[in-house]
Each structure stands twice: as structure tokens, then as C-alpha cells.
Amino acid sequence: MTALDTAPAPVRVTSGASWWSSVVRARELGIVLALVALVGCTTVANPRFLSGQSIRDILLGTSILAVLAVGQAVVIITRNIDLSVGAVLGLSAFTVGSLVQDNPGLPVVVALLAGLAVGGVCGLVNAVLVRYGQVPALVVTLGTLYAYRGATYLWAGGQQITADELPRDFLGFADASLLGVPWLVVIAVVVIVAAGVLLRNYRLGRELYAMGSSPEAATLVGIKVGRNTLVAFATSGALAGLAGVLFAVRFGTVDAAAGTGYELNVVAAAVVGGVAVFGGSGTVWGAALGALLLTTIGNSLAVLDIDQFWQQAIVGALILLAIAVDRLVALRTARALKTRALKTRALKKGGSHVD
Amino acid sequence: MSRTLTSRAVAAAAAATLAVGLTACGGTTKGSDSGSAPGGTAAAATADPNAALREGLKVAFLPKQLNNPYTDIEVGGGKTALDELKGEYKLVGPNDASASSQVSYINTLIQQQQDVIAVAANDPNAVCPSLNQARAAGIKVVSFDSDAAKDCRDAFVNQATTQGIGDKLVEMTKELAGGSGEIAILSATPNATNQNAWIEVVKTALAKPENAGLKLVKIAYGNDDDQKSFQEAQGLLQSYPNLEVIVSPTTVGIAAAARYVSSSSYKGKVAITGLGTPNAMREYVKNGTATKFALWNPADIGYLAAYAGVALKSGQITGKQGEKFKAGKLGEYTIGADGEIVLGPPTVFDAANIDQFDF
């Protein structure tokens, strides 16, 4: 038996991958089912929950969180974490807010690019510290969370950018839509699809998963771990910067405290969406669905007249559930692999010992 | 700025409540002849209403924290007053609003032999020993915005009374609802002292027969968070389609509710009012989402504190109930029980006057 345990398991990669992807699909299916049940119950209690305005509100609310969650998923998949996203969002929102305040004619596209740039730089700083400082991402981004927020406070002081100081075109972007779909939602969907395809179908994306599954193995097979870490953090930072612009557009009021505490919501969205905190698994679709689920819970509890303390409890329960599912899946995978190894072994043995 | 405003107001409201409670106690235990002087050591002096205001007094402002927009406006009012009074203005303060952070600043101000310290206490008791040392050294202490314990300051400038704010909220709501209809409150957090005190006043007023037409359907809590306030405003409008007015007595909540309504299909169907800053609300007043709302003017708090401090040091007042003094453009004030000076009813902002204010 001991020999069996230590023997390398000849598992065919293709079958493992398809089995795994079906599990992941099932996980996302779970979120969709939870979402359907939630919307169903709330609609029964209050039919207006499915009105056009309400759906629009949910999607608009989700768009900011989803953009952040996609960036977070990319980082978590590489077995890192980015806790600085709330502060990056704040810095970007204030930078872009000041920028459009001083240049009222600036096209919204430029504002969006500026947000991406600010966030990207913040993300690169995180990456450099993680990669070349050899410090765990948790510690680095906890530090930069305070550093970026501090920088924003230092710059903004008590200043507040209010709706009447922002150009009409900029604020109007929140209401503008493309073929009936609000631009904020379009941007979020583009981000989700682009990141999703990149992670699923491109070499870089697969390398990120490999790094998360086993950093040592990834290095050994020649994956440029350093470069990819930079890419992952820069992506997360840039998306947090983009989310900052969306924040300014949607809420119309920006001060140095914008986005305080968002980082935990974002991590929650990613984890609830099935992105394993130990890296190597999960999808950005899942993270986006997690964001949608959390936002819908918030909206539906407000409609259902449920005490808001419950909201936090429910989010907490969902995180625990997601982690439990994670663990369960991991155990089942391990058992499945072992069983298959046993069978293969037994077959081989059976063959060789025939007299 | 608004986030800190709320916490600031919490302390102020708590202090106000405390003051009211103490007044009640004082009424039962002390005769009216004692005058219930809270001035402690300063009570020995007698006020000379005709004393001239002294020039060149050194007045130090010690707000809860520096680099806070609300605080900046408050102490800015103090500076204006001291320019008028030809006094010497000084501003010191901690970077964090923790309970003990102000103590070392007070000790330094004593060594510098300031004439007046105007303080917004982060903790009513933590600053007490130092403030009493200052008073023993002849420095007059005026608390503003957030009171220190009443036996360690000479006077307290209170921005508004709980009753005054609650009454103003009901008055505006009733007007916007056209006398009757469903109303809802969008508050900050469920345990915010000042918010709950104001909501109590609103509820009491709504119970009166003349307000029978107004029906408070729900109190929602937006946690002073934009996203959460959006969600709660949306929940209110979905759950109560006949809602006439949303009253939000918190600056984050009112701005978020106004932004949400002005960018939704509910615009024009529901009125937004409450307590907000003119800058945050200007856009929504101009686009018709919020026709009127109220707040005290923070600059006036600092202004009044400076005048009170100089009047104290000049011997015009001692902090006893019933003493009167003039505070420049704000007019004459009478000191209330426990050395409390109430700024006055909140200022109401609407399309006609909002452009005169910048804070």
C-alpha cells in the first residue's frame, strides 16, 4: 500500500481538465441558482424588484464591483492578493475628478484612460514590492492600502469634489447608454470578457493559473514568474483605477475617503464567485457573478425590509460556504485522483502477475 | 468631509443631550439664585457687560483634527472673527481625532500663554485635566462643536439643539409633502447618537395632530456609504411607490439619495430633503431634485466661539446663564444653562440662496 501511495499517478491531463472544468461550471451554476432564487423570492414579495429601473440599478451597482473583482481574481489566481484596490480606487477617483474639474472639455475616454494609468502605476508598485522585495502580497498590499490612502488624504486634504463641479458630460456618462445598455455596464462586460478570454485561451492566462497551482513548478518549467506577477498586479491596479472613474461618474461626489473598505467586498465577491484563495483555480466569470450576487443581495435586502445587520451576516455565510465548497472539491479531486491511480496500478499489477 | 461631520455632530448632539440633562438636574437641586455657574474657577469673577472687548488677544483654535474640510471651515470662521477683533489667531491640532491626541497641544498652548483656547473636544473627559490647568493659568476655554465636560470649560458654542434640528426637518418635510403623504428617513448608521436623537424629535412631532397627514413608513440606514445609501434609497422607492419625501439628516445620505433620484426614473416624483452641505447639494438643487435642505453654517460656529472667547477674556461675560454679549455680524447672544451658547436654528438652503454659500 505504501508503494501505491508514493507511486506517480498516471492521470491523463485531458480527462482531468474536463472533469475539473465541469466542477467549475457547476460552481458557477450554483451562484446562478442562488441568484435566481434570490431574485425570485424578492420579486414575489415586491414585484417592482424586476422593474426596468431596478434591474438597471443592480447592473450599475454591479459594474463597479465586478471590474474590481475581475482584477482581484487575476491576482488571486496567481496565489497572491491585492488589498490595496479600495485605496487605488479612491486615488484614481480623486485624480480623475480633479482632472475633469480643471478640464471640463475632456472626453470621457481620456478620463477612463487616466484612471487606468493611475491604477496601473499603483499596481506596478505593488508588483515590484511583491516580486523584488520578496514580501508576501498580503503584507505589501496591506501597506500600500494605507500608503495610497494616505497619499490621497495628503493631496486632497479635506477637499471634496461635488457634482456641481464636475462637467455635465462626465456626470451624464452615468445615464448614457449604448443600445439601451448603460455605458458603465458595457465597460464592465468588456472587461470581464477580455479578461475571461485571456485567462482561458491565451498562454499568459494559463501561465497565471500554473503559477497559482505551484509557484515552484511554474518556475521550473520556465514560466516567467516575475513578469507575470507584474502583469497580474498591474491589471488589478489598472482595473481598480478604472473602477475609480466609474465611481466618480456614478456617485458624483468624491473625497479622499472614496472606496474606503471596498477591498474586502471585492475579495468577498471573488471568493464567493469560486476563485480559490490559494490560487490556481476560479474564473473571472465567477468573480463577476459573485459581484452580481453580492450587489443583488444588498438591493434585495433593502427592498425586503430586512435589517441591514443580516446583510453582513449573509455575506459572511456565503464566504464560508464558498470556502467549504472549495475544500470539498479539493478533497473530492484528491480522492478521485487516488482512486484512478489505484485502478491504473491494479490493472498494471494484474497484467504483470498473470502466470 | 461629510463622514467626519456626522461623527462630529454625534459628539455635539451627545453633549447637547448631556447639557439638557444636566440643566434638568440643576433645576431640581439648585435654587435660581445660585445662577448655576458652571464656570468653576472663573465663577468668582463678575461680569461687566460694559467692558470693552480687548484687542491683541491670543486665541488658539484646537479642532478635533486638522486637514478636515468641515474643521477648516469652522476655524476659518474663527479667523474671520479675530481679524475683526484685531486678535491673534493660532491653529493647532492633531492629525487624528482620537481621545487623547489633544492633550499635548493644550499643554503647549498653556506654556505659550495664550489668552483663549477654543477647543472641539475629541473626548469630553480626556482633555479635562489639561483644560483646567489652562484655566488655572488664566486662560479662558471655549468649547465648540463638540463639548468638553462642563466643569472644565467656560462656555460651549453649540451649533444647534437637537430639538431645533428635528423641528426644522419636520417643517421642511411637511412643506415638500404638501402637508400630507408618505415619508421615509434615510439615516446614517442605526447607532448614531445624533441621528437617533433627531429622528426621535421627528417622530414626536409627527405624532402631533397637526402632522397627522404625514406618515413615516420606514427608517433606512445608508451607513454614510454612497453605494449603501443608493441601495437603500432604491429600496425605499420600490417598497413605497407613493413616497412623497425622503428625509436624510446626514450629508452623505442626502447627496447620495439626490444623486440616485436625479439619475433614475423617480426624478420629480419624490422630494429629497434633510441636512446637507451646499456644495454637495448645489447640483441637485439646480436640477430640481432637492428644493430645500438645511444645515448650520460651520464658519459661524468658529466665528461665535472666537467672539465668546474674547468676551470672556475681556470680562464682558463669565459664562453664567443669562449673560449677554454681541458676536459681530451674528448679533447678540444670551448664554444658556451650563454656559451653553446656541448658534441658532439651522440655515435653510434653496435655489435662491445656495450660491451665497461655499462649504
| Interchain contact, A49 vs B228, CB within 8 Å | no
Task: Give the tens place of pLDDT for each residue, B98-130.
Answer: 777 889 999 999 999 999 999 988 888 888 999
- Number of CB pairs, chain A paired with chain B, less than 8 A apart: 102
| Interchain contact, A163 vs B231, CB within 8 Å | no
3-state helix, strand, coil in chain B (%, to 5): 45, 20, 35
Q: Which residues in chain B have Cβ-Cβ distances shorter than 8 Å to A247?
A: 226
Which triple of cell numbers denotes residue A148?
495610497
The whole-angstrom distance between B24's CA and the closest CA on chain A is 36
Which stretch of A4-13, A155-164, B43-52, B178-187 has the lowest confidence by average pLDDT? A4-13
Q: Residue B141's beta-bridge partner residues? A: B117
Residue B1 has its nearest CB partner, among A57, A158, A251, at A158
Mutate to test the interface with A, among B1, B75, B277 (most CBs of A within 10 A): B1
* Residue A57 burial (CB count, 10 A): 23
The whole-angstrom distance between B150's CA and the closest CA on chain A is 30
| Interchain contact, B259 vs A299, CB within 8 Å | no
Q: Does B190 touch chain A (CB under 8 A)?
A: yes
The segments of chain B whose pLDDT lies below 70 read 1-45, 67-69
3-state helix, strand, coil in chain A (%, to 5): 80, 0, 20
Paired sense of beta strands B271-274 and B243-248, if any = parallel
Residue A125 has pLDDT above 80, yes or no: yes
Closest CA to A196 of A71, A35, A32, A325: A71
Residue A26 forms part of a structural domain:
no
Q: Does A190 touch chain B (CB under 8 A)?
A: no
Inter-axis angle of helices A137-156 and A85-102, nearest 10: 30
Beta strands in A93-237 (DSSP E): 160-161, 177-178, 181-182
pLDDT at position A350 is 62
Range of the domain at A67: 49-338
Q: Does B228 touch chain A (CB under 8 A)?
A: yes
Q: For cell 490621497, what's the residue?
A: A152
pLDDT at position B191 is 76
Which triple of cell numbers denotes residue B280?
454637495
Closest CA to A32 of A24, B5, A253: A24
Q: Does B287 touch chain A (CB under 8 A)?
A: no
pLDDT at position B358 is 79
Q: Does B220 touch chain A (CB under 8 A)?
A: yes
Q: What is the 3-state secondary structure (H, E, C) of A268-296?
A: HHHHHCCCCCCCCCCCHHHHHHHHHHHHH
- Residue B341 is which amino acid? I
A182, closest residue in chain B (CA to CA): B263
Residue A323 forms part of a structural domain:
yes
Task: Give the tens place of pLDDT for each residue, A222-275.
Answer: 899 899 999 999 999 999 999 999 999 999 888 888 888 899 889 999 998 888
| Interchain contact, B256 vs A54, CB within 8 Å | no
Residue A355 forms part of a structural domain:
no
Q: Does A48 touch chain B (CB under 8 A)?
A: yes
Residue A220 forms part of a structural domain:
yes
Compute, in degrees rounded to 10, the torsion defined by CA atoms A9, A15, A21, A22.
-110
A62, closest residue in chain B (CA to CA): B227
Task: Give the tens place of pLDDT for each residue, A97-120.
Answer: 999 988 888 888 999 999 999 999
Q: Does A303 touch chain B (CB under 8 A)?
A: yes
Q: How far apart are the C-alpha atoms of B4 and B9, rounded to whole Å? A: 8
ipTM score above 0.85: no
* Residue B61 φ/ψ, nearest 5 degrees: -100, 130
Q: Does B325 touch chain A (CB under 8 A)?
A: no
Q: Does B3 touch chain A (CB under 8 A)?
A: yes
Mean pLDDT value across residues A212-217: 89
Q: Residue B181's beta-bridge partner residues? A: B214
| Interchain contact, B280 vs A61, CB within 8 Å | no
* Residue B206 burial (CB count, 10 A): 18
| Interchain contact, A164 vs B264, CB within 8 Å | no
Q: Which residues in chain B have Cβ-Cβ distances shorter than 8 Å to A160?
A: 1-2, 69, 279-280
pLDDT at position B90 is 92
pLDDT at position A257 is 84
Compute, in degrees rounded to 10, the torsion defined by CA atoms A335, A340, A343, A344.
-140
User: Is the model more confident about A353 or about A198?
Assistant: A198
Residue A99 forms part of a structural domain:
yes
Residue A79 forms part of a structural domain:
yes
Q: How confident is the model at residue A352 (pLDDT cuts 50, 70, 90)?
A: low
Q: Residue B349's beta-bridge partner residues? A: B293
Task: Give the tens place of pLDDT for each residue, B68-106.
Answer: 667 888 899 999 999 999 999 999 988 777 777 889 999
Q: Does A163 touch chain B (CB under 8 A)?
A: yes
Q: Residue B88's beta-bridge partner residues? A: B58
Residue A315 has pLDDT above 50, yes or no: yes
Residue A79 has pLDDT above 60, yes or no: yes
Q: Does A214 touch chain B (CB under 8 A)?
A: no
Widest distance between CA atoms in chain B: 64
Residue A184 forms part of a structural domain:
yes
Q: For cell 474657577, what's the residue?
A: B41
| Interchain contact, A48 vs B266, CB within 8 Å | no
pLDDT at position A22 is 60
Residue A28 forms part of a structural domain:
no
- Residue A210 is which amino acid? A
Q: What's A330's domain CATH number? A: 1.10.3470
Task: Give the tens place of pLDDT for each residue, A185-204.
Answer: 999 999 999 999 999 999 99
Query: Half-sphere exposure of A266 toward its Cβ, with a 13 Å CA cutoff?
Result: 33
Q: Does B70 touch chain A (CB under 8 A)?
A: yes
Q: How far apart are the C-alpha atoms of A81 and A277, rounded to whole Å? A: 8
Q: Does B345 touch chain A (CB under 8 A)?
A: no
User: Strand, helix or coil at B313?
Assistant: helix
| Interchain contact, A302 vs B232, CB within 8 Å | yes
Inter-axis angle of helices B298-313 and B69-85, nearest 10: 40
- Residue A325 is which amino acid? V
| Interchain contact, A308 vs B190, CB within 8 Å | yes
Number of domains in chain A: 1
Cβ(A310)–Cβ(A288) below 8 Å: no
